[in-house]
Amino acid sequence: MSATGEISLAPVEQKPIRKAFVDQEFARWSVYARRVSAAPREPHYHGRHVRLGVYTDYIYRQADGVVYAERAFALFLAELRHEADELVLFGRLDPEPGTWNYRVPDDVRFVALPHYRSLTDPRQALTWLSALGRFRRELRQLDAVWLMGPHPLAIAFAAVAASAGRRAVLGVRQDLPEYTRSRHPGRRGVAAAAWALESAFRVLARACPVVVVGPKLARYYRHARELHVTTVSLIRDADIVSQPSACAREWQDTIEVLSVGRLDAEKNPLLLADILAALREQDSRWRLTICGDGPMRGELEARLHELGVEDAARLLGYVPIDDGLMQVYRDSTVFLHVSWTEGFPQVLVEAFAAGLPVVATAVGGVPAVARGRARLIEPGDADAAASALRGLAEDVVEREQLIRTGLQFASTITLEAEAERLAKFLAAQTGAGDIAPRRRRGRTLVQLACAISVVLVFVITASTRPSVCGRMSRTTT
């Protein structure tokens, strides 16, 4: 949904949970977690440092010489500065000055790209050319660039990097076609544009190293030149609570249910009010805290009032993870996730780190991460969610088992650990002479991917305004 709320999203019909698929994804994550936890962990990475540039199609703001980011992903990117000789962020700069949720550290250099509203507006052609020129000039001072996509400018930047003899590493955080279907059901033009862009990125991946989030995307990009699987973890080592303190939480008086996420249709926030009402019908100890903001806040408040449970609910709005959110987790009793769709469920990892037992809908990447560490339910079922929460309140043994397994998983994928592993992979891509062996093949694939990208722009222009890329850029972390 856009910021103005002009697009209405109907709930997406979910297929039954496929056990074979869940088992397969769970096995992949289990192997990954065992591998990273068994690897020797140094206090700090002292390998080959690089001058690294990172591009995302995010908008940044600036006030009094300080740059701010809206997305929490900026925290993950900023952590890479400890592993690089220099970290440079490329992004659109909002023409209106102001602050935002996350301050970009002073030792991270920010390169402002020209601001644009839509990639499909022909009047923005000079803006695109200006962005390409600015990117090319900055390449002279960098060893490698990490380009997040799929996005047309990421593809164009990869071509510029290849022509300048710099290593381009692609980054993929979500299944774009799946995300587009869930956000815009029935809009075939948007779906076609998403598939064209995804296909271009996969073609380009045959010539470029790729960093993906989670085993599902790793399967899609298995033919990449080189592949690194990561998690965008925002949990620091210091955020992991001790198991004894987590198991000692009081469940006899108030039971505080926490939910964290955007208040828009794909996150299904109205169901939270229904669940709270169902819980309080039998037991007045249940209360609900919601962290997040979005276009459906007013509807959620109205639903809570309609059901007569507004006094048992707190809507805290957006709470930055580095400014109070982890304390909200620690002050809660149990975590509830009710989304219709989900990529990598970062909020579940945050709940695991805080030692919270979790009830979550088995959608998207949730089963692969949470199976065996949370109670999984079908999406859209308030009674099932309420029943699962009551079950955790009554079953101390299961509760403590989920807390233990969740803490173990969260401790293997902290921000420090994931940033260090990613830095090692990126540094390995900048070795002397690593571009030459595949220069001809790489150039051919880059040209093909760029051609697909050009076709994509026309597809988007004919099918939708604003562009799917513009909608992607407004997705929260």
Q: Please, what are the averages of pLDDT over each run of 10 residues along the chain (477 residues)?
A: 34 37 46 46 50 93 94 91 93 93 94 80 72 92 94 90 89 86 79 86 90 88 93 92 95 95 94 98 97 96 97 96 94 96 89 97 89 94 97 96 96 93 89 44 59 56 46 42
For 82, phi then psi, to 5°, come to -75, -15
The contacts of residue 431 (CB under 8 Å, 6+ apart) are: none
Amino acid sitting at position 31: V
**Is the four-CA dihedral 372, 377, 382, 388 of positive or negative sign?**
negative
CA–CA separation, 214 and 202 (whole Å)? 16
What do you get for the CA distance between the two ends of the chain, in Å?
Answer: 15
Architecture of the 41-233+420-473 domain: 3-Layer(aba) Sandwich (3.40)
What's the pLDDT at 47? 46
User: Taking a C-beta distance cutoff of 8 angstroms, is the pair 228, 210 a contact?
Assistant: yes
- Residue 13: count other Cβ atoms within 10 Å of its Cβ: 9
CATH 3.40.50.2000 residue window(s) in the chain: 41-233+420-473, 237-412
What's the pLDDT at 448? 56
- Residue 212: count other Cβ atoms within 10 Å of its Cβ: 24
Structural tokens at position 101: 């949720």
Structural tokens at position 67: 């740059």
CA-closest candidate to residue 69, choices 414, 326, 321, 354: 321
What's the pLDDT at 13? 36
What's the pLDDT at 472? 42
What's the pLDDT at 37? 41
What's the pLDDT at 45? 43
Q: For domain 237-412, give the CATH number.
A: 3.40.50.2000
CA-closest candidate to residue 272, choices 332, 354, 335, 330: 335
